[in-house]
Structure 1
């Protein structure tokens, strides 16, 4: 798709799912070799920021308050766990008329549509009805697995042709009642980008920002070395480093099937839902890390490639010069597969 060049990271940046502890341990120091570190809660997870060179005109408390306020705004627009959020009010509406929303929300839906087209539907924010049916939305896991009839019904409400957006004036419109938008595959990355925007507006140029494992890095540590990030071993109940990569002015996100899942009758069901089948993915791909120009793109692309699986995902990423790192289950262990772009960007 011609316009997808926007999605492929040029000399841009890098970032995967990381261990917060390893992330903090591997980052460096500042002006006085002492970093400023901020942490908080958002989007049902945590965020962290490590930075050097805090401007004299701004206190740590003021900067944290600005970050917290910006992330609250993102939640108020896009959370499906807040019934009064802008997105939840759209989801609850049965109207087929244009529903006024913020430009920020409409623009993120526009980006999501481009990635949906690029990935041939592997990424699709209208997958919400299936996410909820399998118990990975605001509700609880179901006592019984969805029936074929239930899956057939939700598939009738999934697909970008059932959702429209416009940017001027910004609004969303659904084809039929029951269309439900879930931005969980892109919203955390967007949150990281908003934290980065707050930092850069404050004059901070050397930082590592993270929300729930999605990252964005800028500048270097005081000794001019780049940020080093740990990609996590994709194993439930284990917090081990799988690989270390360096980040040079980049954003990285990771999608995996090993953190959010449940078991029924000895079988594991992952939160990663294929929008085409409305079922959890079942292939051997455990995690995908993507480096992109911004974290929202990296987040959505990582989700799309995870849905596609080890062969189709790698082929699509390689064909479009996307920097992606795949961890695949093989027997009792794992194998790694990286695109040539990822290998070039992470070479030291």
Structure 2
């Protein structure tokens, strides 16, 4: 599963919201809980002071349970698990949500030169980073990895026809942590809007959607973490409004063997962990599902190739690379044209 940065600036935003509330402004709603193996949180301004917080929390958690039932690779009864166990090329009826996520995955797969691939699940498992074989560390030529590579790379073989989903290889499997969590955030945003909220932030495990402005009538200020598992410092602050935001990094989920570092981010072309110097990628997009998926794709691509695609497609992307001689504790950044425009 792609490891996303923590919401580094959350304490600053909550401080300003509390101050505004004390001055007689909007009521501040703060909700949190567990979902998808991580945590979710909501921070919102209730300008009319009439939102039922218990009802809002119930609706949010109902939507998250629905997403989990559709897309969790950790739940054997979920839709995606049942599709994976469906060893046939015959179509299977799925929910609109799962169909939407698979269709978006196919489009991003094509636009990223095949580097966003939701059928790499068996390879991720074989490397010990998945739901089933966590902690197992194979050699690059292990029989399990070889067998996994034979059924991976099937994203374009997935067909979506309304709510009918099929695969061209009966043993193909889909693995959705790199896009499903973002979709879950978008569902939370829809719930918040249905309660009449316009100024809010919702997030799951660092994947974020923000709407409107914060208590200071400014865009929301979101910290992008320095990709160092030890320092946990803010590398840069992004101003965000009415957009999804996600960061993928290789600095929390990895293992080392014989002096070699193996990241959980897998190159779809080689079936091996990435080896370039890009440590994290942050993407701003119209929704969090797209930001989540593209942050993974761009991390696999790396800064050089990723910037080419980001500028071609007008995507807002910030890359952070390791560079021993650089400032910022050995990191240097590069931004796409769209990201720079949004921060101007």
**Over aligned residues, Cα RMSD in angstroms?**
1.9
Partner of 2:277: 284
Q: Relative to 1, partners in 2 of residues 1:313 and 1:322: Cα closer, same or farther, differing over 3 Å?
A: same
Task: State the shift of 1:73 in Å.
Answer: 0.6
Partner of 1:155: 149
Find the aligned partners of 1:243 and 1:17 in 2 and give their Cα distance.
15
Please, which runs of 5 or more residues in structure 1 have no aligned partner? 1-15
Task: State the shift of 1:144 in Å.
Answer: 3.3
Find the aligned partners of 1:222 and 1:324 in 2 and give their Cα distance.
27
Worse-matched range after superposition: 22-31 or 85-94: 22-31
Partner of 1:42: 35
User: SS of the counterpart of 2:120?
Assistant: helix
**Number of residue equivalences:** 330
Mapped pair 1:79 → 2:69: no
Find the aligned partners of 1:305 and 1:143 in 2 and give their Cα distance.
25
Task: State the shift of 1:33 in Å.
Answer: 5.3
Task: State the shift of 1:26 in Å.
Answer: 2.9
Task: State the shift of 1:19 in Å.
Answer: 3.3
Find the aligned partners of 1:215 and 1:298 in 2 and give their Cα distance.
9
User: SS of the counterpart of 2:66?
Assistant: helix
Contact 1:131 1:137 (8 Å CA) reproduced: yes
Q: Relative to 1, partners in 2 of residues 1:46 and 1:281: Cα closer, same or farther, differing over 3 Å?
A: same
User: SS of the counterpart of 1:182?
Assistant: coil
Partner of 1:341: 338
Find the aligned partners of 1:222 and 1:312 in 2 and give their Cα distance.
39
TM-score by length of 2: 0.91
Task: State the shift of 1:143 in Å.
Answer: 4.4
TM-score by length of 1: 0.90
Contact 1:18 1:229 (8 Å CA) reproduced: no
Mapped pair 1:246 → 2:239: yes
Q: Relative to 1, partners in 2 of residues 1:77 and 1:282: Cα closer, same or farther, differing over 3 Å?
A: same
Please, which runs of 5 or more residues in structure 2 have no aligned partner? none
Partner of 1:3: none
1:59 to 27, 52, 61: 52
Find the aligned partners of 2:137 and 2:208 in 1 and give their Cα distance.
35
Q: Could you say which structure has the greater relative contact order, defined with CA pairs below 8 angstroms and 6 or more residues apart?
A: 1
Partner of 1:265: 258
User: SS of the counterpart of 1:318?
Assistant: helix
Mapped pair 1:205 → 2:198: yes
